[in-house]
Structures are given as C-alpha cells and as structure tokens.
Amino acid sequence: MNHIQSYISEHKDRFLQELIELLKIPSISADSSYKNDVLKTANNIQESLKQAGCNHTEIYKTEGYPIVYGERIIDDNLPTVLVYGHYDVQPPDPINLWDSPPFEPVIKPTDKHPDGAIFARGACDDKGQMYMHVKAFELMTRTNTLPCNVKFMIEGEEEVGSVHLGTFVKNNRDRLKNDVILISDTGMIANDVPSITTGLRGLSYVEVEVTGPNRDLHSGLYGGAVANPINILAKMIASLHDENNHITIPRFYDHVEELSNEERAEMSKAPFSLENYKKALNIEAVYGESGYTTNERNSIRPTLDVNGIWGGYTGEGAKTVIPSKAYAKISMRLVPNQNWEDITQLFKDHFERIAPKGVKVKVTPHHGGQGYVTPIDSLGYQAASKAYQETFGKTPIPQRSGGSIPIVSLFEQELKSKTILMGFGLDSDAIHSPNEHFGVWNYLKGIETIPWFYKYFKELSQ
Amino acid sequence: MNHIQSYISEHKDRFLQELIELLKIPSISADSSYKNDVLKTANNIQESLKQAGCNHTEIYKTEGYPIVYGERIIDDNLPTVLVYGHYDVQPPDPINLWDSPPFEPVIKPTDKHPDGAIFARGACDDKGQMYMHVKAFELMTRTNTLPCNVKFMIEGEEEVGSVHLGTFVKNNRDRLKNDVILISDTGMIANDVPSITTGLRGLSYVEVEVTGPNRDLHSGLYGGAVANPINILAKMIASLHDENNHITIPRFYDHVEELSNEERAEMSKAPFSLENYKKALNIEAVYGESGYTTNERNSIRPTLDVNGIWGGYTGEGAKTVIPSKAYAKISMRLVPNQNWEDITQLFKDHFERIAPKGVKVKVTPHHGGQGYVTPIDSLGYQAASKAYQETFGKTPIPQRSGGSIPIVSLFEQELKSKTILMGFGLDSDAIHSPNEHFGVWNYLKGIETIPWFYKYFKELSQ
C-alpha cells in the first residue's frame, strides 16, 4: 500500500502543524478556570473531523464537557470501527519544571527521539495520539481506501474520570454500535520493540480531610496537648501499608487475580533493564510490594499512592501553627476483578475507622473505573498485530499497563465489543509530568500503522 | 497612685487609636514581599518612643530587619529596666477564615472581652502588648513619676527566630546593661485569674525535603514500583512518635527535667476545665503523651509538631501523579536543659537515617532557642507580683508556658539579668490564628500595672 507512505510524506508538515495548533489550547479539564479553552478545543476537534471526511459530526452536550462525535458510514455490511480519544489534558504544574511553556509547543530532538519530539502538555496524552486517528482517517478517505465504517467519540473529561461519558454511552448504544473499539492512549515498550497493551488497571480516587481543633492554634501553647491533623494524617497514611508494602485495608485483596507462574514467566520476557530504569529516574533503589518484580508491581498488582497532600503553613519562612485541617488526594490502582466502587467503600470505611478520637475525618470519593483485559485471540488484536508487523517489521509484544482508562470496561459492558489499545507513546514521554512530549517519528508511525489495522480488521471479519 | 487611673481615663481613646494605626501596617517578617511595611513599622516605633519621652532613640541596622532602640536615663544610681518586644507579626493566612481583614483593625465585644477586643494580626502578639510598655512609659514621664532608667529594645524578627538579635545583644552589652528585663509577649490564665509566666519552652524549627524520582510520574505507569515521596514522608513523620506519643528520636529526652510530684501537684492547682478546653476547640478528646495531663503536655514536656506539609497536586480536581518531591515544616518545643542546637542535630541525624533507599532526604535547620525558667524569689518576680496585687487585687499565679521566646535565655547569658514575663493576653486571643484579638480591658490593665512594677522594683532594689 504505497499510497500510505506517499500521502504521509506529502502531508506530514501539515499533520504536525495542525497538531501544534491543537496543543496550543490549554484544555485543562481539572481546573474550571480553563473552561472556555476546553470548549474551544471541542469545536476544533469537530472541525478536524469534518475536514478529514466525516459525513456527520455532532457535539453532544453533557452536564460537564461535551463529547465530540463524528462518523463516516460507507456500507452497512462493512465492519465498523469506533475510535475513542480525549481532547482534555492534565494540569501542567509544577510549571517551573518545564523547559518550555506547556502550551507553546516546540520540537526538539531527544535521546529516544533523534528525529525530534513535540514538547507540550497533551502532546502524547492524548491529543497527539488521538489526532493520529483523525489524520489516518483523512488519509484513507482522500485516497479512497477506507475499508470500514468509522465512528469517532472524543471526550473532554478523561483526566477527571470521564464523569459523564458513561451516561452518554448508555443513552447512545445504537449510534455507537461497532465491531471493535480502537484507542491510542497508552504506550509501547520502545520504538524498536512494538507492543500492544492488553491489560489496564482500574482506579479509585478519593480526597480525605482531617479536622482537629476548630481553628489554627499556636504550636507552643497547644503543641503536645491536642491532635495535630497533619501528624494524624501522616500516621493514618503510613498505616495503609505494612512492612512488606502490602495494603492494609481489610478485604482489599479479596478479588485480586494471582497470575500463574507461566503467565509471570511470559511477562518477564519483555525487555527490561532495572539499571536503566533506576538511572532514568535517578533513584538508588526501586520500592514496592515484596515478592513481585518492578514490572509486576506496576501492572498486575494493585497500589495505593498519595497524589497530593497539604496542610498548615507552606509559605516562605516559619509559622509555628497547629492547623485546623489537613488534606490528601489518594488514588488506588486496581487490577481486573477488583470493583472500584467496592474498593472505594472499603477505603472509606477503613480510613474513617482508624481515625483517633480528637479528629474528624471526611472521605470524599472522587472518581474511578474498572480494570480491563483484552484477549490476544480476538479479531481486533490479530488485526493490530498484523498491522504492526507491516510497519515495524516485527510482531508486537502483548503488555499489561499500569495505567487506567476507566471507560474501557464500560464500553465492553454497554457496547459488547472489545477494545484494542494501540499506543505509540513511550514511558519516557513524561505524560502527566513537566516536559511531556511525543516523538514525531511515533506520531507519523501511528498514522502509517492505523490504515493497516483497518485493512486487516476488514479482511479478518469476512 | 491616683495619677495612673486619671491619666489613663484621660488618654485611653488616643492609646487605642495609636495602637490601631500601628496594627494597620502588615509587618509580616516571614514574607519578604512585606519588607517595606516591616521597615515602616520600625520607623513608627522609633517615633512613638520619642513621643513617649525617650531622650535617645536609634534604629540599629542588622543583616535582617532593624532593631529599634530607645532610652531615658534619669540617674545612674537608679535601677534600669530593659523592655523587650517585637514589631513584626505572623503571616495572617488562612486569610479566608478571618471575619474581618487582618490589617483593618475593628473593636468588637466577645464572651471573654465584654468591653470589646481589638481584632487584627499582631493585636496581642506582640504589637498590643509591646505598646502597653510605650504608653505606660509615656504615663510615667508625663506625670514625672518615672522611678527607674528605661531602655527599649524592639525587634522585627521574633516571628522568624530573632535571627540577628543575638549578634546585636553580644555587640551591645554595655548599651543594654540593665537590672531586669521586662517582656509582655505571653498570656495569663484569665482576666480574674492573673498569672505570671515563669517558664518557657525552647524551640527547634526545621524544614525537610524528600526527593524520589527526578520528575513527577504518572501514578498508573509507576505506581507501586517507585518510592512515592509523599507516602515516604508520611511514614517517616508517623515514625517520630510511638504508641504512647513519646518522641522516638534517640537521646531526645536525655536532658529533660522530670518535675517532682510536689511541683506537679502545685501546677495542677491552676484552675483548668478539660470540658471547657475541649468545647473551646470543638474536639471530642485531647491527644498527647501518655502519663501527663493536658497542662503538663503543653508546658513541661517537649513536643514535635508538623506545622506545614505539601507535595503533589493540591489544586482543584484530580491529578494521578507521583510527585518528585514532598516537603514538611516541623517544629519541636523543648523544655529547659534541652539544648536546641543539639536537638536539631539529633533530629537531622535521625531523619536522614530512617529514610529508605529510593529517596533522598534533606533537613534544613530553620531557627530555634533554649527554654527558660524565672525564679519566683527574684526581685523582678516579687515586684511584678506586688504590681498585680495592686491592680488585680490578688496574687498572680506562677505559670509555665508552652510557648517559646528563644531570645530570653540568651539575654540572661549575655546581659546577666533575669527576665520577667508579664503577659496580659488570653489563650483564647487566637494569636498565630485567624481573628487574633486583644482585650481593650487587658490593654489598659497592662498600662495600669506596669508603672506599679517600676515603683516596686525600685523600692525592692534599694
């Protein structure tokens, strides 16, 4: 299919420029002060879908940010691919750690991306990877090689838990009817080690508030005599892991699937260097649950991390205060079979139970989602595997990811179709971190690989 | 001495108005953005001292904020009183918990202050209490009843550890030569239960920084596999107290004086209602070191409190991040005989030692000071006790305070004189908290009591 190569080389500058324009809009869904930018991004996406060849597009209002929908139905007898992605991005802070402003994209080469990478918040997660699908779709329509019907569903609340997507999917089952769901919102092992994500972790995200005295107190006059909410919060958080870094919440592990030794042996075949891993993060040692390797700890095992903590005086200099309140944002990564709503309840009950008298504790569930596993014998996985073989010259490795895309398990439940996670980013692309970037080579390689997926998915479906 | 009453009733409105003007200047020493306001306050104090009758005033520059000095020497054969106070204030945050702006003083009655209290940052700590001495001095000079020589030393860095006062005192021993040091920067039990503070706790204030990975990480991709600086910091903080709320730092208690049962029995006579204490703070239970009462926990026992903690995402919504760094400000209140510099070193060594591999820990000593005890048989204490008897009609109770005035022990060491802590504030005045206030009655009662101290100190000195 030479037309793929030639169309890409002819239009790649425009592909890049269009993505850069998209990345300039700070569509931060977590911070309401960016509301207009998020909405602007939705309109931008709708326009792109029209340009690319959708013969019907629509912006679906929700109680939160809208969902952009677009479709091109060429023949009801052909299989239908539903592409999911998101146009919202993570907050960029800490801003001061960015080498260039997060919403002023620049292209610079890196060790892993000698051909250059686009540095900007959302470059990889998920504007860049979502936009690969829009451009691959444009390629197929302009070259009259589109082998399947296509539907796009691009949301604006993924980074805040896809709060309203569930309702939308439930209410639009027919409109969203499809034979396979395609998502590029994960990564691959390396540019010369293609991989396809077959497992995702679930998530439970909560915020906790510990209240001691009804006002901030002088730590000299009251210190030692009243419960200090910060000390108490630290004690409670510390107690959530035992000396083996097992999570201590009762019944937390009840439904965790233990992988067989065969499966663990299979996993361990993925190329991994602990030395490089530690070097890349500049840490002396890794840290985690006893009895599991690093790759197991961040994929097949559930975890509990504090994502933010604050209380008392955090300004310049010193303030000898016992604050009235202390807060933390805590998230748990879950594995398939752990129900996120049950886990959230278990956390809430436990955290409230361990609070000492002298403080009041409030636990506010934030959002969450179930884990997911894609069977590698599914049509979609087979089609994806063949597509990678065409463009990478080797068979991709099936890989469990530690990340979560809460909505994937809901897709299967509501739409009865499998999701294929075709990620082209690298772990080192610093998503959710300062200096997020996405390789130019990866962006174009994605645009090149996607049409092959459509071709093989149609052929295998017949 | 009727002239005292009459002078006060004649001038009390002006006394209040002048204090209110002083309170309008946000002299926050901890925040460098208020530098000009702090300097402006120093000039204001110098002017007040001139007006009140100092025949020599001077502003001593330091590497930090200046020290305002003023004196009136009437006869070298008369005893000399050195008044110490500070013109800087604590940061007002959390601002949103103030009922009126912290630097727009208002007078409102409260349960404990039916005649009204001045609400403003610094009203009690220490502008209001320091200014009582300026006005009492004015009273004595204008009525030609000043019985002693007077020296004023008013600094601008008390709330940040009196960083440069020590050097100043060492370099000006002769200028500061005195027979007793008078400070009003503490409290008393109640308006009808006068007390004099005879003990202060020492202080060691440090800031800690825990660094994990070299950048913020996605908690899905890395969660469970690398040390999360917030979880680790919480674990380390939690480990600083054992199940009896004893501090676990090795050798921390080595020099702590254990009071005799007689002394503890004496202390327990001070009127105290645990029910009212809990009610005032709206807490269900007190919390502290096993084997000690609330009054002992916050006065004769050392403590360790986290005064501030921060790390990760603390904004609106959710961010699934493992931060690169987490921070805390930690202060320890010390009792007499504990050397604050030794304790700071013990903390540093211990905290660095307990850090697990996988994180780096930095401990930055901030400031500190020694504890202090005033003997109740000293001339100064006796003079103060007689003064209170005149104006309160009862003998004041000697009381240990949990607070710290780091400089007091240095005064004794360098100037060889005792300090008398004549505090007129109440615990409920919310110093270091939102809605700090100082009773109008207390302010005027201070101005009334101080001249009696001078009278009796002179008489007892002869």
Of the candidates B188, B83, B97, the residue with the CA atom closest to the CA atom of residue B146: B83
Q: Is residue B291 part of a domain?
A: no
A221 vs B contacts (CB less than 8 Å): 187, 298, 401-403, 427, 431
Best residue in B65, B207, B233, B314 for a mutation probing chain A (most A CBs within 10 Å): B314
For position A47, which CATH number holds?
A: 3.40.630.10
Query: Per-residue b/e over A386-406, b at no fewer than 16 CB within 10 Å?
Result: bbbbbbbeeebbbbbbbbbbb
Is the pLDDT reported for residue A373 higher than 90? no
A205 vs B contacts (CB less than 8 Å): 318, 320
If asked whether residues B36 and B52 sit together in one domain, one would say yes
Q: Compare A44 and A370 and report the one with higher pLDDT.
A: A44
Which residue among B224, B327, B402 places its CB closest to the CB of A223?
B402
B225 vs A contacts (CB less than 8 Å): 286-288, 294-295, 297-298, 402
Which residue among B294, B306, B320 places its CB closest to the CB of A307?
B320
Inter-chain residue contact A331 with B219, CB threshold 8 Å: yes
The share of chain A scoring above pLDDT 70, in percent, equals 100
Inter-chain residue contact B222 with A311, CB threshold 8 Å: no
Which residue among B215, B303, B315 places its CB closest to the CB of A433?
B215
Q: Is residue A453 part of a domain?
A: yes
Inter-chain residue contact A333 with B224, CB threshold 8 Å: yes
Is the pLDDT reported for residue A241 higher than 90? yes
If asked whether residues B28 and B133 sit together in one domain, one would say yes
Torsion sign, CA atoms A451, A454, A457, A458: negative
Inter-chain residue contact A312 with B329, CB threshold 8 Å: yes
A329 vs B contacts (CB less than 8 Å): 312-314, 318-319
Q: Is residue A284 part of a domain?
A: no
A294/chain B closest Cα distance in angstroms: 5
If pLDDT is split at 50, 70 and 90, which confidence band does A251 have? Answer: very high
Q: How far apart are CA B351 and CA B345, in angstroms?
A: 10
B362/chain A closest Cα distance in angstroms: 15
Inter-chain residue contact B226 with A281, CB threshold 8 Å: yes
Q: Which residue of B has its CA nearest to A29?
A: B317
Which residue among A91, A220, A322 places its CB closest to the CB of B319?
A91
A223 vs B contacts (CB less than 8 Å): 298, 303, 305, 331, 333, 402
A44/chain B closest Cα distance in angstroms: 24
Q: How far apart are CA B219 and CA B213, in angstroms?
A: 12
Inter-chain residue contact A320 with B432, CB threshold 8 Å: yes
Inter-chain residue contact B318 with A404, CB threshold 8 Å: no
Q: How far apart are CA A429 and CA A65, in angstroms?
A: 26
pLDDT reported for residue B47: 98
Strand A106-108 versus strand B80-86 pairing type = unpaired
Which residue among A302, A305, A313 places its CB closest to the CB of B231?
A305
Is the pLDDT reported for residue A359 higher than 90? yes
Choosing from B369, B393, B423, the residue where a domain stops is B369
pLDDT (average), residues A222-231: 96
If asked whether residues A340 and A387 sit together in one domain, one would say no
pLDDT reported for residue A345: 98
**Interval B33-82: pLDDT, tens:** 999 999 999 999 999 999 999 999 999 999 999 999 999 999 999 999 99
pLDDT reported for residue A257: 84
A201 vs B contacts (CB less than 8 Å): 220
Inter-chain residue contact B308 with A311, CB threshold 8 Å: yes
Best residue in A314, A324, A421 for a mutation probing chain B (most B CBs within 10 Å): A314
Which residue among B221, B404, B431 places its CB closest to the CB of A403?
B221
If asked whether residues B163 and B214 sit together in one domain, one would say no
Q: Which residue of A has its CA nearest to B33?
A: A316
Choosing from B336, B351, B369, the residue where a domain stops is B369
Hey, which residues does A397 pair with through a beta bridge?
A195
Q: Is residue B261 part of a domain?
A: no
Residue identified by tokens 């504990």 is B338
If asked whether residues A70 and A208 sit together in one domain, one would say no
Best residue in B236, B283, B351, B364 for a mutation probing chain A (most A CBs within 10 Å): B283
Inter-chain residue contact B434 with A303, CB threshold 8 Å: no
pLDDT reported for residue B331: 97
In order, the DSSP letters of A7-45 are: HHHHHHHHHHHHHHHHHTS--BTT-GGGHHHHHHHHHHH
Which residue among B237, B314, B434 places its CB closest to the CB of A216?
B434
B309 vs A contacts (CB less than 8 Å): 230, 233-234, 309-312, 314, 326
Best residue in A247, A278, A319, A322 for a mutation probing chain B (most B CBs within 10 Å): A319
Query: What is the overall mean pLDDT for chain A?
Result: 95
Q: Could you tell me if B421 and B200 are in contact, meaning their C-beta atoms sit under 8 angstroms apart?
A: yes
Q: How far apart are CA A328 and CA A98, in angstroms?
A: 25
If pLDDT is split at 50, 70 and 90, which confidence band does A436 have? Answer: very high
pLDDT reported for residue A192: 94
**Interval A259-310: pLDDT, tens:** 888 888 877 888 899 999 999 999 999 999 999 999 999 889 999 999 999 9
Of the candidates A214, A242, A111, A318, the residue with the CA atom closest to the CA atom of residue B29: A318
pLDDT reported for residue B317: 83
Q: Which residue of A has its CA nearest to B246?
A: A224
If asked whether residues A99 and A7 sit together in one domain, one would say yes
Q: Which residue of A has its CA nearest to B162?
A: A318
Domain assignment of residue A99, given as a range: 2-200+371-461
Inter-chain residue contact B221 with A298, CB threshold 8 Å: yes
A289 vs B contacts (CB less than 8 Å): 224
A435 vs B contacts (CB less than 8 Å): 215
If asked whether residues B362 and B387 sit together in one domain, one would say no
Q: Which residue of B has its CA nearest to A278?
A: B213
Q: Could you tell me if A84 and A181 are in contact, meaning their C-beta atoms sit under 8 angstroms apart?
A: yes
Inter-chain residue contact A309 with B234, CB threshold 8 Å: yes
Strand A202-211 versus strand A325-334 pairing type = antiparallel
If asked whether residues A361 and A403 sit together in one domain, one would say no
Which residue among B218, B286, B306 places its CB closest to the CB of A403?
B218
Q: Is residue A436 part of a domain?
A: yes
If asked whether residues B158 and B231 sit together in one domain, one would say no
Q: Is residue B297 part of a domain?
A: no
Inter-chain residue contact A308 with B326, CB threshold 8 Å: no
Q: How far apart are CA A49 and CA A68, in angstroms?
A: 9
If asked whether residues A425 and A405 sit together in one domain, one would say yes
Inter-chain residue contact B333 with A224, CB threshold 8 Å: yes
B282 vs A contacts (CB less than 8 Å): 213-214
If pLDDT is split at 50, 70 and 90, which confidence band does A5 have? Answer: very high
Inter-chain residue contact A316 with B30, CB threshold 8 Å: yes
Q: Is residue A288 part of a domain?
A: no
pLDDT reported for residue B103: 98
If asked whether residues B195 and B147 sit together in one domain, one would say yes
pLDDT reported for residue A317: 83
User: What amino acid occupies position B378?
Assistant: S
* Maximum C-alpha span of chain A: 79
Q: How far apart are CA A59 and CA A66, in angstroms?
A: 6
Q: Which residue of B has its CA nearest to A214?
A: B281
B328 vs A contacts (CB less than 8 Å): 230
If asked whether residues A355 and A450 sit together in one domain, one would say no
Q: Could you tell me if A149 and A81 are in contact, meaning their C-beta atoms sit under 8 angstroms apart?
A: yes
A301 vs B contacts (CB less than 8 Å): 224
User: What amino acid occupies position B138?
Assistant: E
Q: Is residue A274 part of a domain?
A: no
Count of the separate structural domains present in chain B: 2
For position B332, which CATH number holds?
A: 3.30.70.360
What are the DSSP E strand ranges found in B180-269? 180-183, 195-200, 202-211, 217-218
B365/chain A closest Cα distance in angstroms: 11
Q: How far apart are CA B252 and CA B302, in angstroms?
A: 9
pLDDT (average), residues A2-26: 97
Choosing from B317, B346, B369, the residue where a domain stops is B369
The ranges of chain B with pLDDT < 50 are: none
B428 vs A contacts (CB less than 8 Å): none
User: What amino acid occupies position A90?
Assistant: Q
Is the pLDDT reported for residue A370 higher than 80? yes
Is the pLDDT reported for residue A250 higher than 90? yes
